[in-house]
Structure 1
Amino acid sequence: MPEPITETLSREPTYAEFWPRYLRAHARPATRAVHCAGTATAVALVATSIFRRDWRLAAMAPLVGYGAAWGAHFGLEGNKPATFGHPVWALLSDARMAALMLTGRLGPHLEKAGLDPHR
């Protein structure tokens, strides 16, 4: 089972320490894919809400984004979402992971975190 991202430390981790733990909590490619799809859909909802001037679409964005991510953690990865322990860093890391995935640059980050980027 992957290490919990909310493991107890004697101090708060730096973001540089948090990032590899975040990636290890997303070890399965399917988990990362669901996160990426949820993030992309949430961004599209916000953009569409601005374009259409319909706040209801923006209100749906967190439900879709977090719903997908939490579903992936509980259903696929079998761990607790990082949002529960570090909500801001988890949100930033989710966007970072999605951007790196979409641009094909996530592999080196996975390797550095001790994960097989081809798995």
Structure 2
Amino acid sequence: MSDNTASFRDFDEFYAYYLEEHSNRTNRRLHFVGTSLGLLLFVVGIVTFQLWLIPAALVVGYAFAWVGHFFFEQNKPATFKYPWQSYKGDWRMWWETLAGKIPF
């Protein structure tokens, strides 16, 4: 499915496209690390009332992901065109990696 003409019937169809855009193992690893660090920063920010950590969590998560795309996958992040679906896709990919369904 071409990135320029992509339209998706549902999230599962988008997620298949999302996984194609994350075929490089280093990119997936960077996504996993960035999402994990982002989650940690978010939780610490809430627990300690250091609310500046919440936007920092997003920056850290996206920074790792974008390095993965630009330097290893060598494509544009799906979040540029599909921000909400991409956000959900990242969390699903993170969970499936944690569960051993996607190789780390």
Q: TM-score, normalised by structure 2?
A: 0.91
Q: Superposed, which structure 2 residues align to 1:18-57 within 5 Å?
A: 18-57=14-53
Determine the C-alpha separation between the residues in 2 that align with 1:102 and 1:7.
31
How many residues are matched? 103
Q: CA-atom RMSD, angstroms?
A: 1.7
Deviation of 1:13 after TM superposition, in Å, equals 1.0
Look up the SS of the partner of 1:27 in the other structure.
coil
Taking the aligned partners of 2:47 and 2:13, their CA distance within structure 1 comes to 38
* Structure 2 partner of 1:84: 80
What is the rounded CA distance, in whole Å, between the counterparts of 1:52 and 1:16 in structure 2? 36
CA distance in 1, matches of 2:22, 2:4: 15
What residue is the counterpart of 2:69 in the other structure? 73
Q: CA deviation at 1:77?
A: 0.3
Q: TM-score, with normalisation over the residues of structure 1?
A: 0.80
Which residue of 2 is the match for residue 114 of structure 1? none
| Alpha-carbon distance between aligned partners in 2 of 1:38 and 1:53, rounded to the nearest angstrom | 22
Ranges of 4+ aligned residues in structure 1 off by more than 6 Å: none
* SS in structure 1 of the partner of residue 52 of structure 2: helix
For structure 1, the 5+ residue unaligned runs are: 107-116
Unaligned segments of structure 2, at least 5 residues? none
Q: CA deviation at 1:103?
A: 1.0
Question: Once the two structures are superposed, what CA deviation does each residue of 1:65-108 show, in whole Å capped at 9, x if it has no partner?
Answer: 111111110010000100011100000000000110011023xx
C-alpha displacement of 1:7: 3.0
